[in-house]
A and B are shown apart, each in its own frame.
Chain A
Amino acid sequence: MPDNKQPRNNRKKSSVGSRRKLLPWLIPFASVRLTLSLLSLSMILIFVATLEQVRIGIRGAQAEFFESFYGIWYYPDQFWGSEFLSSLPIPIPGGYLLGGLLILNLIAAFIVRFQWSSKKIGIQLIHLGIILLLIGQMITQAKQVESRMMINKGETSNYIERFHGVELAFTNVTDASQNQVVAIPQELLEKGGTFNHKDLPFDVRVRKFDRNCEVTIKQPDQSRQGLSKEVNRGVGFTSNLFLKEKEEDYSMDGLNFSFVVFDLINENESMGTWLALTHPAGNHVWESVSPQLADFAFQPLRYQGNLWGMTLRHEREYLPFSITLRSIANEFYQGTEIPFNFESRVTLNLDEKQKRDALVYMNTPLRHGGKTFYQYQMNKAADYSVFQVIRNPSWLLPYLACILVSIGLLWQFSFHLFSFLRKHKSTPRLA
């Protein structure tokens, strides 16, 4: 019995010791030096990505440096010594690598370095909160989907469109009661090749897809060159469009016109070559750009007694509910054009009987079905409102992490405060 009565402190130390013995390879990962190195590298990453943001825009910098294990940085031309250094590719550890290692570092420290005692429970909760925050961020980056929903006043919409990423959609509109949609996503269009699907009565052979281009309408007597010349059906042909490939614009205001040139194949024979072009603000805008181009929203194809509409549009997701825009209001700071408030009064239509009214305004979104609808844009003159729609399965994790960190901090400070007060109370006061 007396052997079992080890001093309390020694027992804790031996608990850490036994964990170290069990997982010896985890010890290097628990190093404080590693933590500091990773934090320093994170600062370098942020610095480089900020510089690169000027060149490749926010989306580009995010994809290159944060949503990757490593990024390649070229020394800026404006900096000292660029004549020697600018051609040198410098690898920079990416967000996934640093984030992953930080999580590993924290978990390792948690296991092989921290004492699991009530005295230290605050610190453990703080670290647990930070681990949760990092994991949450990683899941968000991998799983979060950002879309938009545009609704005209008085109208109803039941789909959202991705900000980035398009799809080549074929819709059979012959049946007045139900329409069949077959959509080929951008990832497949980029790979190219011939696609078929049981619901599509013809094959689709992609000749060329790109994320941006420049389009001009040629005079009827002017001939088209290159890729444009291959197009012999649809708007691209009838409007005599000339297509010039262009680098994707990653900047915030960048407008990218994705395009695809494709053949429709019937029994190994091409029925023609079409061009489909997407407008960054939505294909309904083509009509106002030029009536000639309006068909880019719906290029008709009659095939075997059916009418199909073809369009290259922002990737669309249909919702099991719909939203009706009742009214919109915008307010500006007096005497300025700086927005003070945008708000949209909407009705959420769950089914025929279940409806719910809601007011969506800045920082007060509508949440439903795992999606959050934020007020994003509004045009009072044109009477429409645009919502930014976020689907983030890990949206609760940051809140949980903050709660854990708060409890941890509160515990730790309170513990020290009460210890101090107890100590202070027991110490005799000097007269």
Chain B
Amino acid sequence: MFTTVAKSLNGLPPFLLLQAFALTFSSCSEEKEISSYEISPEYDGPVVAWKLPENWGENPDLSGPMAGSFHIKTELGPSGRIGVMPFREAVSTREVVNMFGRELGYENFDQNSLELILQTKTIGNKSFEWIPLTDQTDPAESRMVLLALLRKEQETWLFPFIADSPLITQEMNNFKKFLKSVVVRAGKVPIRARNPAALPSPPPAQSANGPTWEAPTHWIQGKPSSMRIGSFYVRDENGNELDFSITSFPGDVGGVLANVNRWLSQVGLDKVDESGLASYLSTVEIDGKSAQLLIAENDDKSLYAALLFRDDRSWFFKIMGESSLAKIEKKNFLGFLDTVCFHDH
């Protein structure tokens, strides 16, 4: 047998043998390729997945309690804000509603008042608690918060939709489709947001290039929120109070006339038409740009507001409250407007 093998090797040049040897060992290392396989689930975190409507975009600044954060793509840029917030404990509906309600000027809800606004909606195979909230500080304002709460055993998932009312109406079908597509599953590991937390941070356009200002020293700083970029209040010794806010929204938010009429109604004054605007409006300069100044004074309540439209956004600087105190603070309000700076020039 050996002779046969040896004969077959006879005449084989030695370098060929060496080459064969080298090839044998070099081919021993496996050629690597992308592998794909199935495993039993080992991820024990919460699972939250969704399908976004085409005209929605994800906000990159996802932080804090948010598992997801989106905006609606409009001609004027990103608008509105939709969130996905997990709550570890079975948080009560009242607790969540009050958290948002306070921001919108609601008194704290009790069980009875909550039941008046609480609805139940079945979307797909999921049942949601459905709570629409409108801006109470400014009833004529179109700002709105729509809360959808999904209860799952010990887990509650909140989907807040914060936007102007027309936008919410326009996107209602998409919001429902989004809720239908949502997959949520509680995990073993703790979810970061265990308790009701602050509302999602404002869109980057507001926070990144936000203005600065100098407020009078006796103005007391309030808490900024998703609605308010700046917030102050003023009190006198008689308990009279003024509320000052700085807000910003994409677009013109209905235009000057709509906003002026909304504010006039807040202090009990009659609405006006285009020709009547001049009796309330004058021009003021804010950081080198022309803005509209509204002086709306009534017997009990007065409101001063500046409307500035810049970079496709509306900026409102508004102080409102008891008339006598408002008149005293009018000068401070105008002085405040002089200090506003957008740091872009």
| B is a partner of A | yes
List of B residues within 8 angstroms of A309 by Cβ: 43
Chain B residue nearest in CB terms to A168: B34
Asked if A307 and B47 sit within 8 Å, CB to CB, the answer is: yes
Report if A318-B37 is in contact (Cβ < 8 Å); known contacts: A22-B6, A104-B17.
yes
Tell me which residues across on chain B come within 8 A of A180, comparing CB atoms.
36-38
In the complex, chain A residues whose CB is within 8 Å of the CB of B41: 173, 175-179
A-B contact count (CB 8 A): 116
Is A415's CB within 8 Å of the partner chain B? Answer: no
Q: Does A69 contact B (CB under 8 A)?
A: yes
**A28 vs B17: C-alpha distance when bound (angstroms):** 14
Contact A184 B43 (CB under 8 A): no
Q: Is the CB of B25 within 8 A of A96?
A: yes
Among A176-228, those with CB < 8 Å from B are: 176-188, 195, 197-200
Contacting pair B17 A22 (CB below 8 A): no
Residue of A28, A199, A200 ringed by the most chain B CB atoms within 10 A: A199
The reply to whether the CB of A345 lies closer than 8 angstroms to some CB of chain B is no
A: number of interface residues (CB 8 Å): 55
The complex places the Cα of A200 from the Cα of B35 at a distance, in Å, of: 11
Question: CA–CA, A180 to B39, complex, Å?
Answer: 7
Chain A residues, Cβ within 8 Å of B32: 185-188
Q: Which of B6, B13, B34, B51 contacts A304 (CB 8 A)?
A: B51
Please name all residues of chain A whose beta carbon is closer than 8 Å to the beta carbon of B37 when the two chains form the complex. Answer: 180-181, 318
Q: Is the CB of A179 within 8 A of B40?
A: yes
A352 to chain B, nearest CB (A): 13
A291 — nearest CB in chain B belongs to which residue?
B192
Tell me the dominant secondary structure on chain A's binding face. mixed
Chain A residues lying within 8 Å of B198, measured Cβ to Cβ, are none
Residues from chain B with a CB closer than 8 A to the CB of A25 are 11-14
Judge whether A179 and B39 touch: CB under 8 Å: yes
Sampled A-B contacts (29; CB under 8 Å): A18-B3, A22-B3, A25-B14, A69-B22, A100-B25, A101-B18, A103-B21, A104-B17, A104-B18, A142-B25, A171-B39, A173-B43, A174-B47, A174-B49, A175-B41, A178-B39, A178-B40, A178-B41, A179-B40, A180-B37, A182-B35, A186-B32, A187-B32, A188-B32, A238-B62, A304-B51, A305-B49, A307-B48, A318-B39
Interface centre among A26, A158, A200 (most CB of B within 10 A): A26
B185 within 8 A of A: yes
Residues B1-38 near A (CB distance < 8 A): 2-3, 6-7, 9-14, 17-18, 21-22, 25, 28-29, 32-38
Known: A96-B25, A195-B34, A304-B51. 5 other contacts (CB 8 A): A104-B17, A181-B35, A182-B35, A237-B60, A307-B47
Decide if B49 touches A181 in the complex (CB within 8 Å).
Answer: no
**Closest A residue to B28 using CB positions:** A142
Determine if A29 and B49 form an interchain contact, defined as CB atoms under 8 angstroms apart.
Answer: no
The residue of chain B having its C-beta at the shortest distance from the C-beta of A18 within the complex is B3
Which residues of chain B are within 8 angstroms of A188 by Cβ–Cβ distance?
32-34
Q: Interface 1/0s, chain B 174-201, versus A by CB < 8 A?
A: 0000000101010000000000000000
Residues of B participating in the A interface, judged by any CB pair closer than 8 Å:
2-3, 6-7, 9-14, 17-18, 21-22, 25, 28-29, 32-43, 45, 47-51, 60, 62-63, 68, 181, 183, 185
Q: Out of A176, A185, A198, A199, name the residue touching B185 (CB < 8 Å).
A: A176
| A374 within 8 Å of B (CB atoms) | no
Q: Does A329 contact B (CB under 8 A)?
A: no
Complex-state Cα separation, A320 to B10, whole angstroms:
48
Interface residues of A in 236-251 (CB under 8 A from B): 237-238
**A306 / chain B contacts, CB cutoff of 8 Å:** 49
Rounded to whole Å, the gap between the CB of A128 and the closest CB of chain B is 14
**CA gap between A319 and B40 in the complex, in Å:** 12
Q: In the complex, what distance in Å separates the CA atom of A186 from the CA atom of B30?
A: 13
* Minimum CB distance partner of A138 in chain B: B25
Q: Which residues of B contact A177 (CB under 8 A)?
A: 41
Residue of B nearest to A175 (CB): B41
- What chain B residues lie within 8 Å of A233 (beta carbons)? 60
A271 to chain B: closest residue by CB = B58
Cβ of B40 and Cβ of A305 under 8 Å apart? no
Closest Cβ of chain A: how far from B158's Cβ, in Å? 17
Q: Closest CB of chain B to A37's CB: distance in Å?
A: 16
Bound-state Cα–Cα, A183 to B22, Å: 30
CB of A368 within 8 Å of the partner chain: no
Note all chain A residues with C-beta closer than 8 A to B13.
25
Contact A302 B28 (CB under 8 A): no
Knowing A100-B22, A178-B40 are in contact, say whether A183-B34 is a contact too (CB < 8 A).
yes
A368 nearest CB across to chain B (Å) = 19
Q: Which of A55-80 contact B (CB under 8 A)?
A: 69
Q: Does A342 contact B (CB under 8 A)?
A: no
Q: Which residues of B contact A138 (CB under 8 A)?
A: 25
Answer whether residue A232 sits at the interface, using C-beta atoms and an 8 A cutoff.
Answer: yes
Q: Give B9's nearest chain A residue, CB to CB.
A: A23
B contact residues around A142 at 8 Å (CB):
25, 28-29
How far, in Å, is A316 (CB) from chain B's closest CB?
9
CA distance A304 to B28 in the complex (A): 41
Nearest residue (CB) in A for B6 is A22
Complex alpha-carbon distance, A200 and B10, angstroms:
53
A302 touches B49 (CB 8 A): yes
Bound complex: CA A46 to CA B18 (Å): 23
